[in-house]
Amino acid sequence: MKRILGCAVVVLFLGATPLLARSFEVNEFDKGKTLYKNKCQFCHGIRGDGKGPAAEPLLGHPVDFTDSKFWQDDVEKKINVEKKIEDTIKKGKEMMPAFDLAPDEIKAIISYMSHTFKKATQSNN
């Protein structure tokens, strides 16, 4: 009986893990979406194409996340794209100011951007 119960617990745990992971992913995605909307969208745009309402008044163009080149790792500097985004958010770049975001918030934004804009570039290709 104990063995059956133990197996049931293990099965339930194994079964629940993907669901929990998916739930976490969804939560992170939603969190990232909200953060993107509040922090990034004004310049980078709802579609991530660098054409937000504030893009035109800025004399330089905000980065286009729907460009597949953006998602390429910097081989020369040995920096992957996630690290590049993280550094830009933390330190700012050119006109973009540095943002006071927690590591989990930055991770959430990257998650949202990857799932939304990176996937869009892949499907376009």
Partner 1 sequence: MIGKKLIKVFFLFIVLALLQLLPLDTAYAVPSFARQTGMPCNECHTIFPELTPFGRIFKLGGYVLSKSSKPYEFPPPLAGMVQVSYTDSKGLTSGVAPFDSNNRATDRINLPQQLSLFYGGRIYDKIGAFVQGTYDGVSNKIFLDITDIRYSNNAIVWDKNLIYGLTLNNSPTSQDVWNTTPAWGFPFASSGVSSTPAAGAIIDGALDQQVGGIGAYVYWNNLIYQEGTVYRTARNGITKPLGAGTTTEQVVDGAVPYWRLALEQRWKNHFFTIGTYGMQADIFPSGNRSGPTDRFTDIAFDAQYQYMGTIDPEHMQEHMQMDGEHMAKAGKHIITAHATWIHEDQDWKASFPFGNTANASDFLNTFRMNLNYYYRSHVGDIGGSIAYFSTTGKTDNLLYSPDSVGGSRTGSPNSDGFIFEADYLPWQKTKIALQYTVYNKFNGAHSNYDGFGRNASDNNTLYALVWLMF
Work out the number of other CB atoms within 10 angstroms of the CB of residue 32: 24
The answer to whether residue 50 forms part of the interface with partner 1 (CB under 8 A) is no
The answer to whether residue 11 forms part of the interface with partner 1 (CB under 8 A) is no
Q: From the CB of 51, what's the least distance to partner 1, in Å?
A: 7
Query: Do 62 and 44 touch, CB atoms closer than 8 A?
Result: yes
Question: CB-wise, 81 or 99, nearer to partner 1?
Answer: 99
Residue span binding partner 1 (CB under 8 A) among the ranges 2-10, 56-64, 72-80, 114-122:
56-64
Query: Do 83 and 74 touch, CB atoms closer than 8 A?
Result: no
**What whole-number distance in Å separates Cα of residue 17 and Cα of residue 66?**
32
The single residue among 4, 5, 78, 94 that binds partner 1, judged by CB under 8 A, is: 94
Binders of partner 1 among residues 63 to 92 (CB under 8 A) are 92
Rama region for 69: left / alpha / beta (φ>0; ψ in -120 to 50; rest): alpha
The single residue among 7, 8, 11, 54 that binds partner 1, judged by CB under 8 A, is: 54
